[in-house]
Amino acid sequence: MKKEKTDRAKQKTTLMKVLRYMRPYWFYLAVSLLLAGITVALTLYLPKLTGRAIDHIVARGAVDFPGIFAILRLMGVVILITALAQWIMNICNNKMTYEIVRDIRNEAFRKIEILPLKYVDGHSYGEIVSRVIADVDQFADGLLMGFTQLFTGVMTILGTLLFMLTTNVGITLVVVLITPLSFFVAGFIAKKTFTMFRLQSETRGEQTALIDEMVGNQKVVQAFSHEKKAMERFDEINDRLQACSLRAIFYSSITNPATRFVNNVVYAGVGLVGALSAVAGQISVGDLSCLLSYANQYTKPFNEISGVVTELQNALACAGRIFELIEEEPQIPEKEGAQVLSDIHGNVELEHVSFSYEPDRKLIEDFNLSVKPGQRVAIVGPTGCGKTTMINLLMRFYDVTDGRIRVEGCDVRDMTRKSLRAGFGMVLQDTWLKTGTIRENICMGKPDATEEEIVAAAKASHAHSFIKRLPAGYDTVITEEGGGLSQGQKQLLCITRVMLCLPPMLILDEATSSIDTRTEMKIQEAFARMMEGRTSFIVAHRLSTIREADVILVMKGGAIIEQGKHEELLRKKGFYAQLYNSQFAV
C-alpha cells in the first residue's frame, strides 16, 4: 500500500514537470483542443444526419429522395471539414510533442556536460545513454498518443452524452449508470501498469549499459574468453526484462477485453431500452439508429483512453528517469564574478590539500607543493598513491576537500574553469578521438589553426608521416575508436593536439605509454622543446623518462614522502631508489 502511494506521488510529480515543459507551446495545445472539439462535434453530428435520412424512408415506394440527397451533400461537407480538422490537429500534436522532446533532450545533454565527474564515474555510460535516447523515445510515443487520442476521447464521451440527452433523456441515463464500471476498470489497470513499466525502463537501461560495455571492449572480452560470462550476464538481465515486460504487457492487455465487455453492456442496454421505446412510439426508427450509433461512439473512446492510459504510464515512468538525470546536482557553480585567468606564467601552489573520493576512505592528506614557472615536476609512486588524482585536482575535475590550489596566486575555485583548463595542455594514457577528420581531431583546442600550423604540430609529434599514408591524409574520417589506427598512432594524434595549442602549462600522464621506444625517444625530444619555459607535470611509471625533471615528487598513500632531483633521490637510497632499481631487477 505504501509503495502504491509512493508511485502515485512520483507519477503526479512527473506529470507536473511534463506540464511545465508544455507551457511554452500553449498555442499548439489550444489549437489542438479547439480542433479536437470541432472534430468531435462534426463526427457526432453525422449520426443525427443519418437518422434524418432514415426517417425520410417512410415505406416501400414512399422515399423522399430530394431530402435524402440534400442530407448526403451536407454529410459530404461535414466529413471533409472533419478530415481537415483532424489533419491540422495531428500536425499541432506532432509539432508540440517533438518540440517538448527536443527541449528535454537538450536539457539532459546540457546537464551531462555540467555534471560532476563523480556522477559520470559512478554510472555506466550505457545507462546514461539509455535515459537520453531510449527513455525519451518511449516518452515521445506515449505523449503523442496522449495528445492524439486522449483529448478527442474525452471530448467524444462528453459530446456523445450531450447529443444523446437532446435525443432521449431516459436512454442517456442508462448509459450514465453503466459508465462508472469503465472508470473502475481503467483505474485498476492504471495503478498496476505504472510500477511495471518503471521496472521495465530501469532493466532496459541496465541491459543497454551491458551491451555498450561489451561492444566497446570486445577485443578484451574475446582476449580473456569472457564471452560465456558476458552471455550469462546478458541472459540474466534479458530474463528479468522479459519477466517485467511480460507483467507490464499482461496488465495493459487486460484493458481492451475489459473495456470491450463494458462497451457491449452499454450497447445492449441502449438497444433494449431503445427498441422498447420505438415499439411504444416514443422515438422514431431514425432516432433509435442515431442512439445506437452514439452508444457505439460513446464506448469506443473508453477503449482508446484505456490504451492511452497504459502508454502514458510507460511514458511517465520513462520521463521520471529522464527528470532524475536532469535534476542531478551539477558541479559546483563558478563564483559570481569569477576571475578569467589570462596572464599565465606557471606558478602553481598546493597548500595543505586534502581529498578523498569517499568520505570514509582518505586518499590525500595535508599535501603541500610549490612549483615555479618553467619547472618540470615529475610525480611517481605505486599504483593508487594519488598521482592521477593530483591531475584531477589541478584541472579542477574534482574540488579539494580541504586546503587550496593556487595558480598565479589565485585560488582555482575563484576563477572560471574554462580559463583554468585553457592554461593546461593534457595528454593522458587513455586516448580520446571524436568522430570526424584527422584535421578536426588535431585542431579541437584551436579551431582557427591554419594548415601550416597543423602540419608543423604533426611533424613535431612525428605523426605527419603516418597521416600522409592514410587514404585522404588530414581529411581521413575516423571514428571515436580510431578506426584502423593503432593505439600508438591515436596517442600521437592526442600529442599533436596539445603541440598545436602550446599552452603555458603541461600535464603528461603516461603520455608515451603506447608508443614504441624509437618513436618515444623522438617524442621525448619534442616534449623537451615544448616544455622549455613551460611548467610541466609528468606522471610516469617508467622512471627512465623523468631523469631530466627539475623536481621529482615521490608519492605513497596520498602524501609526498620524498622530493628532489633524480641523482639526489638515488643517493638517499629511499623509496624512489627502490622503485628505480626494481625496473632492472631480474
The 3-state secondary structure of 529-542 reads HHHCCCEEEEECCC
> Residue 84: its pLDDT value, please?
93
Containing 551, the helix (H) or strand (E) segment is strand 551-556
Count Cβ neighbours within 10 Å for each residue of 207-219 and write b for 16 or more, e otherwise: bbbbebbbeeeee
Q: What domains can you pick out in the chain, each with its CATH number?
A: 101-155+165-326 (1.20.1560.10), 348-582 (3.40.50.300)
Q: What are the C-alpha distances in Å from 11 to residues 19, 133, 143, 194, 252? A: 12, 21, 14, 8, 17
> Residue 374: its pLDDT value, please?
85
Backbone angles phi, psi at 430, to 5 degrees: -85, 120
Judge whether 301 and 152 are in contact, CB under 8 Å. yes
- For the record, the C-alpha cell of 156 comes out as 467524444
Judge whether 258 and 185 are in contact, CB under 8 Å. yes
Q: What's the CA gap between 132 and 109, in Å, rounded?
A: 8
> Residue 148: its pLDDT value, please?
67
- For the record, the C-alpha cell of 498 comes out as 596539445
> Residue 80: its pLDDT value, please?
93
Q: Is 442 exposed, middle or buried (0-12, 13-18, 19+ CB in 10 A)?
A: buried
Residues of the chain with pLDDT under 70: 1-8, 57-63, 144-145, 147-148, 179, 182-183, 185-192, 194, 219, 255-256, 259, 285, 299, 302-307, 309-310, 480-483, 511-515, 519, 522, 541-545, 558, 583-586
> Residue 299: its pLDDT value, please?
67
Q: Is the model's pTM score more than 0.75? A: no
> Residue 540: its pLDDT value, please?
73
What are the DSSP calls for 20-43, one per residue? HHHGGGHHHHHHHHHHHHHHHHHH
Question: Which among 522, 571, 540 is positioned nearest to 378, based on CA atoms?
Answer: 540
Q: Is 2 exposed, middle or buried (0-12, 13-18, 19+ CB in 10 A)?
A: exposed
Vertex 242 angle, CA 236 and 243, to 5°: 90
Q: What are the C-alpha distances in Å from 218 to residues 16, 221, 227, 248, 404? A: 43, 5, 9, 33, 42
